[in-house]
Every structure is written in C-alpha cells, then in structure tokens.
Amino acid sequence: MANLGFVGLGVMGGNMVSRLLGKGHAVAGYNRTRAKAEWLVGQGMRWGESPRAVCAAADVTLMMVSNTEALQVVAEGPDGLLAGLSAGKVLIDMSTVSPAASRALAVRVREKGADMMDAPVSGSVTTLQQGKLSVMAAGRRETFERVKPLLEDIGPKVTYVGENGLALSMKIATNLSLAVQMLAFSEAVLLAEKSGISRETAVDVLTHSVIASPMVQYRGPFVLKLPDEAWFNVNMMQKDMLLALEMGRKLDIPLPTTAVANQFLTAARGIGLAHKDFAVVFDVLAGMSGVTR
C-alpha cells in the first residue's frame, strides 16, 4: 500500500483515485471544487485543504489538471505543490500540458531533492474503469522503476518513453488522431445517412468494421446520443490539437488533417458547444449537411 496524494479530481482524476483506493492505497486528494470530491471521501479518500497539504502528506503525488495554466496554478505559491515537496518525494503529472512547461517544472522539483515524471494516459473513463487504460511515462529511469507498480494499478499498459517531456509529446501525437478519427467517422455516418441508411444502422456497421478503433467503438455511438457529462470536451480536445499544431510548426511537420479537425472544434465553440464532448463535431458537420440530430 502506497501513501499517495492526488490533485485534480475531475472525471478522469476522480476515477483514478477511486481505482487506487480500490487497490488498497491510502490517498489524500485536493480539488478546486470540494463538492466534486465528496464521493471519493465516501470511499475513504482523505481531503487535503491545498495542493501543498496533499503533497506534504504523501510520498508520491499524482495530478490530473486541465491545461498548462492550471498546472502552474497548482504548482506555484505558498499553497502550491512545490511548497509541499521535500527530498525523496515524487511528483507524477498525468495531465496533458506543454512538454516545455513540464520539463521546466521538473527542474524546480529536483532543486528540492524530489523528482518528477510526466505520465499522461491514453483512453477514456470507460477504458479506465475496465482496467484497460494505457500510460506513457517519462523522466529518470530509476524513478520510473520505483513508480511503475503504482502506474500499473491505474492502467496495465505502462510504457517508458524517455526523458522528461517525451511522454507528453507521445500523448499529444496520440490525441491529435482522436479528433481526426471522430471527424472522419462523422463523414462516413452522414454519407450513409443521406444515402438512405438509418443512422443507427450506419453506426452499428461502422463500429463493427475494419475502421473500428477502440476510440471509434466507444465514442462512435455518441453521434446517436451525447453523454450528459462530456468525457473529453471540445475545449480540452482543442487544447491538445493546438499543442500538436505548435509542435508540428517547431518540428517542421505538416499536420493537415489535424488542422482541419481543429477548425471543426473552433466551429463547435463558435455555436456554443464548447463544453460538450468533442464528438459533437458530428453536429457541426451534420448542420453543414442539412441534417439534424
């Protein structure tokens, strides 16, 4: 049993904590909105009053926050994670943020005698709950070996990819395909539907066909009915697409399908769908096609 901290208890972070508690670990957690964490307190999670308090109480602290700015907010200041660090502790950032910002934070963590890894995940709430999540990890190899069993309690597929920041690069490279696949899937559904095939039949055929990646299988049915609570909303998806496009610019790699999918996310935001699951790109394309949900 590990003595853990966890900062950021949203949909994914909260379900990770639930899984860790189920594995027998002791977890202290913090979230900006405490009400969203009460279900975890009911499962045995100890509430921490600040990121600093959580980090000070734990040997290993994990975090899952929304973006680079949120990472800086929870890390900085008198109540931030950095203030709670001491020698021997480990910080694991499972968020998807700027690789450069993550590397810069790792330098400051090591100045305190602690260590840091970036360990973003690939998958959804469903794959997490099913125990099928995959984890990419980057940082010092010896620290990876220390925390690998803990990461395996979150998802069984844990891959070491190299030095700090490279797991984030791998995650961004992975995530750009999500929106591209969803847009292509939407095109196929609408082409079938306007040909006279029912939407339900088209979704059934496509999600059991050669194009049915795990993402298409679990998110494809969202073109029939969006979830009440977004698994990964438009704003979050676009954040990752913009990170990818910026990486492409710096590395001289054209990302044409990423750029097109990003424009559909912008259109979704423009018509007030920013907080819907990013599968709502179907609605944007459907509207352009004269089709209603």
Environment class of 201 (CB within 10 Å of its CB; exposed 0-12, middle 13-18, buried 19+): exposed
Q: Within the chain, which residue ranges are assigned CATH 1.10.1040.10?
A: 169-288
CB 13 within 8 A of CB 6: yes
89 classed as catalytic: no
* Count of helix runs (H) and strand runs (E) in the chain: 14, 9
Tokens of 293: 């949900």
3-state secondary structure 159-227: EEEECCCHHHHHHHHHHHHHHHHHHHHHHHHHHHHHHCCCHHHHHHHHCCCCCCCHHHHHHHHHHCCCC
- The CA distances from residue 68 to 95, 109, 233, 267, in Å, are 9, 16, 16, 23
Q: What architecture is domain 3-163?
A: 3-Layer(aba) Sandwich (3.40)
Residue partners of 99: CB distance under 8 A and separation at least 6: 118, 165, 166, 168, 169, 172, 247
Given a contact cutoff of 8 angstroms between Cβ atoms, the answer to whether 98 and 240 are in contact is no
Question: Which tokens sit at 59?
Answer: 């040997």
Q: How far is CA 265 from CA 44, 46, 212, 242, 259, in A?
A: 38, 38, 22, 11, 10
The yes/no answer on whether domain 169-288 falls in CATH 1.10.8.60 is no
Per-residue pLDDT tens, the chain, 293 aa: give them. 899 999 999 889 999 999 999 999 999 999 998 998 999 999 999 999 999 999 999 999 999 998 999 999 999 999 999 999 999 999 999 999 999 999 999 999 999 999 999 999 988 888 898 888 999 999 999 999 999 999 999 999 999 999 999 999 999 999 999 999 999 999 999 999 999 999 999 999 999 999 999 899 999 999 999 998 888 999 999 999 999 999 999 999 999 999 999 999 999 999 999 999 999 999 999 999 999 87
Q: Quick one: tokens of 207?
A: 């999600």
Q: Rounded to two decimals, what is the model's pTM?
A: 0.88
Residue 35 burial (CB count, 10 A): 7
Can you tell me the distance from the alpha carbon of 27 to that of 31, in angstroms, rounded to the nearest whole number? 13
Among 171, 239, 250, 276, the one annotated catalytic:
171
| Numbered ranges of CATH 3.40.50.720 in the chain | 3-163
